[in-house]
Structure formats: C-alpha cells, structure tokens
Structure 1
Amino acid sequence: MQETAVNETFQHRLEQFNPGMVWLDGSNRVTALNDIAMQILGPAAEQSLGVQKNGLLGLNVMQLHPERSRGKLSFILESQDPVGCPVKSPPPVAMMINIPDKVLMIKASKMVGANGITGTCMVFYDLTDVTTRPSPAIEAQPVPPRRLYKIPVFRKNRVVLIDLNEVVRFQGDGHYTTIATKDDRYLSNLSLSDLEGRLDPDVYIRVHRSHIVSIPHIVEVVRHKDSTSLSMADNEQSLIPVSRSKVGQLKELLGIY
C-alpha cells in the first residue's frame, strides 16, 4: 500500500515536470529546442565540443551524448513500430549522460508532414534529483558521479522508481539490465556500465562482467573445484558466478581470509 502511494506521488510529480523538447531533422540534427532543453544540453555542448549554447542548432544530437550512450540513443531514434506506424513512439528510455551526471527519461516520436517523415521530436524529463544524490567529496580529486538511490524503470505504461535498498542483484545484457529484488524482476535500459559508477562500492560489487550483487543480500559463498559462486536472496535463490579476478576483492569485503 505504501509503495503504491509513493509511486502515485511520483507520477504526480512527473506530470508537473517541465519537459525538455528537441526537434531533429531527418539526419538527427537539432533544428529547434525549448529553454529546458537548452539548459540541459547547453553544458554538454560546451564540455564535449567547446560549442556555446547558441551553437547547438545544426549539431547532430549524437554529438551531445557520451560515446557509451550513443548506441542506446540511436536505438530509440531509429525505433519503428513493427506494424509500420511511422509516428508510434517507443517506450521511454532512461539514460545517464555526462552533462553532468544527469538521469534523463527520454521519449522520441517521428514527425510526419505532407511528404512523409520530416524528422523527430525528442521529449525528456530530468529525473536526476529524484533518483540520485551527490557523492561524498574526495579532497584533491575530481567530483565523483552522483550516487543512485532509486532506479527508474518503465512498466505497464508507468515510470516506476525502485528503491536501491530493495535490489538484490543486477544482471546485464548489452544496453539492458535485469534488476532482481526479493520479490520481483524489472527490466531497465540502464546498462551495467551506467550503474556501476553510481552505486555505493561498500554495498555493491561487480563480481562478473554480467553481474553486480548487493553484499547484504549474499546468502552463501559456494565453492566448487576452481570456481566460486554466490547464492543470492532473490526469490529464485540465484547462483551468480564470480570471476577469478574478483574473488580476492569479494573475500576482503566479506571478511573471509
């Protein structure tokens, strides 16, 4: 009941957010944008390209995103409805981008004119403040990325925020990640690479190229010949492989000597 109330509150907040809007031509070059988009994308242009805000027009939108985000952005820009509707909008995509450390929920729709598709309208919501908090500052070092405390996922036509404390493990597959809690599983389009740098390293460890686990939710360390696995506290009691290179770090975090 409490989870439903929290989600309803977030849905109401989402309705109140001012969206960023960007118009792209057929080659994905920026032709127009509103003031919210200017505020968010302007720093990206300055940091990555050395371009002032007034130089955004005409830029390919891919240039405004770090390389690791471009595949995901390209996917939603090129998405087409399987039955051929040219204006069908794909599901929202959550992305973390360095402008700086923003968590954006993005949706894109093809725009149709008299002669067919003329370009794309991108609409995005800045979820940074409701999903992350600043990381502790480290003296004489660059400011670390903002830490996640909630993860946005799209489910049943709604944006749901998963409390990070409830997450048992993450399993990656390309641009997508399965998030397993004790009672459920969710599909997120934040990749393991997106997530890894935003999680508390004292709580979460990447034990394998495809797996990040929550240390408090480890039930058992299972050893078999030369391999090590972790039994986790999700409803499937998943057995997660540990890469040999991670065994030492895992033992140290668990106090196993």
Structure 2
Amino acid sequence: MNSKDPIATPAPVPPTPESRQNETFQHKLEQFNPGMVWLDAHGHITAFNDVAVQVLGPAGEQSLGIAQDRLLGMDVIELHPERSRDKLRFLLQSTEPGGCPVKSPAPVAMMINIPDRILMIKVSKMMGGQGTCGTCMIFYDVTDITTEPPELAASNQSPMPRRLFKIPVYQKNRLILIDLKDVVRFQGDGHYTTIVTQDDQYLSNLSLSDLERRLDGNIYLRVHRSHIVSLHHAVELVRAEESVSLVMGDLQKTSVPVSRTRVAQLKEVLGVI
C-alpha cells in the first residue's frame, strides 16, 4: 500500500433506538438537581439543600406531623415508610470489611409513598480527622419519568399511588429504565425483586408489595406470595393433581406456581372454566 493512500475507516455504526433512549435518559439525569442530605455518625440530619427540603419537608409533615424547621436533628430513617426502613438502614450501615472505610455501596431504588415519590439514592461515608464522621446522602427524584400522572381520589380517600410505566434499576454502574410492557414476571425475595423480561433479568430494590401497589391489576396479577406475572406473557395454564402453575414467555419458559387462593381469580381473568 502506498503511504500516501488514504486509510479506510469503518463506517460509523448507527445508534440503536435502545442506546439512543439510554443516552437521552442519562442526559436527562445529568440535568436533574440532586437532593443532598448530610447525616451525622448516628444518621441524624445535620444539613440539606433546597431539593431535599422539597421532598423531606412534606414527608415529615404528612407522615409525622413535623414542620420543616424541625427536620434538623431527626433520624432520617423515621421519615421513610415502615416497609422501607430496613432497606435504608442497611444502605446507611453498609461497610466494606477490610477495605476503605468510606467506600460506598451501589445506589439503590427507594420508594417513598408520602409524598408518593420514587427516589434513586446514593450514600457516601464521610471521613474527618478522627475517621468516619457521618454520611452524605444524594438522591434523584425520578418519579415523573417512571410513573403516570397522579390519579384523583375521592375527598375521603388517600391519594392513589402513581402507576408505574418504567422501573429504574442499576446495571453495570448505569441507571436504566425497564419498560413495563417488556416485563414477563416479577419474583420476590424479601425486600428485593428479580425483574424478568423475555431475554434478560434485573435485580431491583423495590419489593413485590411496592410494585403491586403501582401496577395495573388487569395486566399484572400476583399469583403467589413470591410471584407477579404479566398476563400478556402467559403461555400455558398447567393443572396437576394438587396444584396449578402458569408457564411464562421468558427464555426459560418458567413455570410459576399459583397459590390455591389465587386459582379462581386467575381462571376468571383468563376466561378459563
């Protein structure tokens, strides 16, 4: 080849719709103003920015009857619903044995139902002259890009939880949004849930109970204490002597057990006699 000949360069690969969507979301996330909360060594609030006040203020007033000017000095865990406290406590207390004392765990999704927000939270241990002295909690409010607008409730009823249309999860240090229509089933394990699509699966910090309250009950049915299925992805109803199961449309064609108390409801929804 002549040294003056131009070197051929491969044609650029056009971005896929999924990669374009992820880039758009990451760009949106970068534009968000994060909420920031400083906690002392005991997890009590010592300072916060205006974004945090906008979320924690209403939470304190509605759930605890505490005015915003009394938030300072409170245990941050008390501002969260009871079902979320164990997860948050674990996040705040997580350490790396034998490692860096300020190394932080991976971010997690936390759900706050008062005032009905979905937050992505990251915590970092803070180091002072005497060692670890507290925690910085940073969160992004992703409610508006993961849920439908709030439904109006009757004057004598509590507000309805905002219905999900995307689920935020972390994968390979990136925050991605799973489109709900792609989800085949959810499998719960304590505070965590495995979200299974047709060709992949993801670990979410949202519990089955958190998810169930925000899913369309005409499409997503809790057939077992550990399983919620998308009826759109149900393949076959299998009846054995003493049990009923539902074969789903994921790669493994997973057979999901159906609790006896849910069999009649499932048959009615599927129109099976």
**Pairwise same-fold verdict (TM > 0.5):** yes
How far apart in 2 are the matches of 1:137 and 1:246? 29
- Contact 1:41 1:64 (C-alpha < 8 Å) held by counterparts: yes
Task: Name which of 153, 165, 186 aligns with 2:202.
Answer: 186
Q: Which of 192, 197, 203 lines up with 1:176 in the alignment?
A: 192
Mark the runs of 5 or more structure 2 residues left unpaired by the alignment. Answer: 1-15
- Normalised to the residue count of structure 1, the TM-score between the two structures is 0.97
Matched, 1:204 2:220: yes
The structure that is strand-richer by fraction is 1
User: Is contact 1:88-1:110 (8 Å) kept?
Assistant: yes
Q: Which amino acid aligns with 2:141?
A: D
Instruction: Determine the C-alpha separation between the residues in 2 that align with 1:5 and 1:208.
Output: 37
Equivalenced residue count is: 257
Deviations 1:141-196 (CA, angstroms, capped at 9, x unpaired): 43210000000000011001000000000000111110000010111111101101
| Residue identity matched to 1:242 | V
1:147 to 130, 146, 163: 163
Tell me the secondary structure at the aligned position of residue 62 of structure 1: helix
1:79 aligns with 2:94: yes
Deviation at 1:139, TM superposition (A): 4.4
Higher Cα Rg: structure 1 or 2? 2
TM-align CA RMSD = 1.1
Q: Secondary structure at the match of 2:251?
A: coil
In the other structure, the counterpart of 2:262 is 246
Runs of 4+ residues deviating >6 angstroms: none
Whether contact under 8 Å (2:186, 2:227) holds in the other structure is yes
- State the SS of the aligned residue for 2:264: helix
Counterpart-to-counterpart distance in 1, 2:268 and 2:205: 31
Alignment of 1:6 with 2:21, yes or no, is: yes
Deviation at 1:214, TM superposition (A): 0.2
Partner of 1:43: 58
- 1:234 alignment partner in structure 2: 250
Q: Using the alignment, how far apart are the partners of 2:97 and 2:18 within structure 1?
A: 34
Deviation at 1:255, TM superposition (A): 1.0
CA distance in 2, matches of 1:71, 1:96: 12
Contact (CA 8 Å) 2:45, 2:71: kept in 1 or not? yes
**Distance in 1 between the 2:195 and 2:182 partners?**
10
One-letter identity of the residue aligned with 2:241: K
**Partners of 2:187 and 2:43 in 1: CA distance:** 32
| Secondary structure in 2 matching 1:45 | helix
CA distance in 1, matches of 2:122, 2:184: 28
| Alpha-carbon distance in 1 for matches of 2:272, 2:120 | 41
Whole-Å Cα distance in 1 between the matches of residues 97 and 22 of structure 2? 31
- Aligned equivalents of 2:263, 2:84: Cα separation in 1: 30
SS, match of residue 263 in structure 2: helix
Q: Tell me, yes or no, if the aligned pair for 2:63 and 2:114 is still in contact at 8 Å.
A: no
1:162 maps to 2:193: no
The unaligned stretches of length 5 or more in structure 1 are none
* Distance in 1 between residues matched to 2:128 and 2:244, nearest whole Å: 58
Query: Aligned in 2, Cα 1:138/1:61: closer, same or farther, shift over 3 Å?
Result: closer
Q: Percent identity?
A: 65
Deviates more, 1:160-169 or 1:186-195: 186-195
1:31 — aligned with what?
Answer: 46
Q: What is the Cα deviation at residue 98 of structure 1?
A: 1.7
Instruction: Name whichever of 162-171 and 84-93 sits farther off.
Output: 84-93
CA contact (8 A) 1:41 1:99 kept: no
Residue 91 of structure 1, aligned match among 106, 113, 121: 106
Code of the residue aligned with 2:85 in structure 1: it is: R
SS of the residue corresponding to residue 109 of structure 2 reads: strand
Question: How far apart in 2 are the matches of 1:7 and 1:47?
Answer: 35
| Cα distance between partner residues in 1 of 2:252 and 2:149 | 33
